[in-house]
Structure 1
Amino acid sequence: MITRTPTRPAGRRRARRAARILLALTSMTALLGLDLPEAGALPPLGVTVRADADAASARVGALFAGGTDGGHFCTASVVRSAGRDVIATAAHCLGSPDTTVFAPGYRDGEAPYGLWRVTGVFTDPAWAEGEDPDADIAFATVAPEDGARTRNVENVVGGFPVAAGQPADVTVTVVGYPSSEEAPLRCSNATGLFSSTQRRIDCPDLSGGTSGSPWLAGGALAGVLGGHEGGGTVPDVSYSAVMGAAALELYRRAAG
């Protein structure tokens, strides 16, 4: 006669398996807890708050004319490139590139990652010829203002990838510097197409100085504040030219 070992009831097996999984998850959470976002830590959609000083906001900076003493007038962000030296902003922010400097992570009067002067500008011919709002996006190369040749801005703060061709209702995060603020503001919301070539977002308090602010979709640059009405004539509604094939080709030229 064959003697069979009694099997455990299915319910008991499931209970023990669940306990093991719970123990593993608890251990993993203990190890990674410092990196896990807190539930409810992000503001609701459509609410503008002061941006935290984190890795993402370090890649966003204010544009100044000559130096930080004169006040900032636009926003730009570092994007990935072969030379690790490219920023993105609105084309209308680079009317005087010879005197424009970029301060990534600028906050409360301090430029923790130094100042970077503009060394080259890439704009669409449609902007140069007639300031077409659909071409109000630009890329620029930068170099340390102090003349050091051993540093590139992307090596210092990192850079955002560029993601053209986003869906009409993509949710983006805008990070930018109003001229009246000494730290960046942040707002996330779903976007909509104002036209086939212009995207809009409803976010309060994005006033003058936020032109050129990155629109980040999943951590990638999907546009910059600008375009229609120079980005908007009221602080609660902002625009970006849709990043299509022309903008992507412009980025490729700048990124080398």
Structure 2
Amino acid sequence: MPYRWSSLRRSRLGRAVVQHLCRNSALTLSWLVLVAVGSTASAVALTDSSSSTGVSKEIHDTRSFAMVGAIFSGQVSSSGDHFCTGSVIDSPGRNLIVTAAHCMSDGTSALYFAPGYHDGVAPYGVWKLDHATTDSRWTSGQDPDHDVAFVTVDPLNGQQLESAVGSYTLGIGRSPDSIVRLTGYPKVEDAPLTCVNRASSFSATQLRIACTDYSGGTSGTAWVTGGTTVMGVIGGYEQGGDTSDVSYSVVFGDDVETLYQQATASA
């Protein structure tokens, strides 16, 4: 199935608390301040006194995360039938999202993107997915090191997606130990989770991060560093991970940059 942890052994786990990752709150705060220096957007995006490092929080006011949305099979409804997460990426055509390639395994027919979705409401409209660009190594063999997709969306009422909600920028070659925010949609919830923690290398081609409760539906969730830059998406190893408290991403390097260029050239 085209979303994270489709097998029974990867079903949603109970809510675990990763408080040991936040043993020194003062040190954690200093990390966040360093990342935020020179950028008000970074400070807003990465400092959140209401949640601990590595512990996810459900949000119902999604105005600060309008660039993030749920991907639905069929029209959006209040039933929460979303199965992946996507985020708007700056592009010349102003109509591009990034997600995991395995989210697009069955094509884009009858798939829709609802940015800022929460509680059965799509505050910025519902956008039809058009064309997915994936690496041939994913298409031919589902290589986990290429589990990334860029997807164009159709205009809505004559408006381009990026004009409606804004966008993130694509980050290539970012430090693997960057502080990252994840904001994504578990399939079993009707509002997104958000979480901040420090990423790390899992291998030469994969990144790892500990954030609680990122279960099925969160595949494709962007790894946002500096408040504005996407350096990964949940996917890759085990299509994002084999527990809900640890997630993975392909390293965004030259292959992802090439894929982005292909996607924008065809848009």
Q: TM-score normalized by structure 2?
A: 0.78
Query: Matched residue of 1:67: which SS?
Result: coil
- Kept after mapping to 1: 8 A contact 2:199/2:208: yes
1:199 maps onto 2:210 in alignment: no
Query: Matched residue of 2:169: which SS?
Result: coil
1:105 maps onto 2:113 in alignment: no
1:119 maps onto 2:130 in alignment: yes
- Kept after mapping to 1: 8 A contact 2:60/2:119: no
Q: 1:40 to 1:94 in 2, by over 3 A?
A: closer
Partner of 1:185: 193
- Kept after mapping to 1: 8 A contact 2:62/2:118: no
Q: 1:109 to 1:126 in 2, by over 3 A?
A: same
Q: 1:153 to 1:101 in 2, by over 3 A?
A: same
1:168 maps onto 2:182 in alignment: no
Query: Among 251, 260, 264, which residue is 1:242 paired with?
Result: 251
- Kept after mapping to 2: 8 A contact 1:55/1:157: no
Report matched runs for 1:39-188 at 5 Å: 41=49, 43-51=51-59, 53-69=61-77, 71-95=81-105, 96-144=107-155, 148=156, 150-188=158-196
- Kept after mapping to 1: 8 A contact 2:112/2:128: yes
Deviation at 1:253, TM superposition (A): 2.1
Partner of 2:263: 254
Tell me, in whole angstroms, the C-alpha distance in 2 between the residues paired with 1:200 and 1:75: 18
- Kept after mapping to 2: 8 A contact 1:94/1:100: no
Deviation at 1:55, TM superposition (A): 4.5
Deviation at 1:197, TM superposition (A): 0.3
Tell me, in whole angstroms, the C-alpha distance in 1 between the residues paired with 2:116 and 2:154: 16
Question: CA-to-partner distance for each residue in 1:18-52, whole Å, 9 max, x for gaps?
Answer: xxxxxxxxxxxxxx9xx989x86352211110236
Where structure 1 has 5 or more consecutive residues not aligned to the other structure, the ranges are 1-31
Number of residue pairs aligned between Structure 1 and Structure 2: 219
Query: Matched residue of 1:126: which SS?
Result: helix
Tell me, in whole angstroms, the C-alpha distance in 2 between the residues paired with 1:229 and 1:156: 34
Q: 1:36 to 1:140 in 2, by over 3 A?
A: closer
Return 103-112 or 40-49, whichever deviates more. 40-49
Say what the alpha-carbon RMSD is for the aligned residues: 2.0
Deviation at 1:56, TM superposition (A): 4.0
Tell me, in whole angstroms, the C-alpha distance in 2 between the residues paired with 1:124 and 1:246: 8
Question: CA-to-partner distance for each residue in 1:105-161, whole Å, 9 max, x for gaps?
Answer: 1000011111111111110111011000000000010014xxx45210000000000
Query: Matched residue of 1:248: which SS?
Result: helix
Question: CA-to-partner distance for each residue in 1:39-70, whole Å, 9 max, x for gaps?
Answer: 86352211110236354411100011111247
Bigger relative contact order, structure 1 or 2 (CA pairs below 8 A, ≥6 apart):
2
Q: Which amino acid aligns with 1:220?
A: T
- Kept after mapping to 2: 8 A contact 1:80/1:255: no
Q: Which amino acid aligns with 2:69?
A: G
Q: 1:135 to 1:112 in 2, by over 3 A?
A: same
Query: Matched residue of 1:150: which SS?
Result: coil
Tell me, in whole angstroms, the C-alpha distance in 1 between the residues paired with 2:48 and 2:76: 35
Q: Which amino acid aligns with 2:96?
A: V
Partner of 2:22: none
Tell me, in whole angstroms, the C-alpha distance in 2 between the residues paired with 1:104 and 1:190: 25
- Kept after mapping to 2: 8 A contact 1:75/1:211: yes
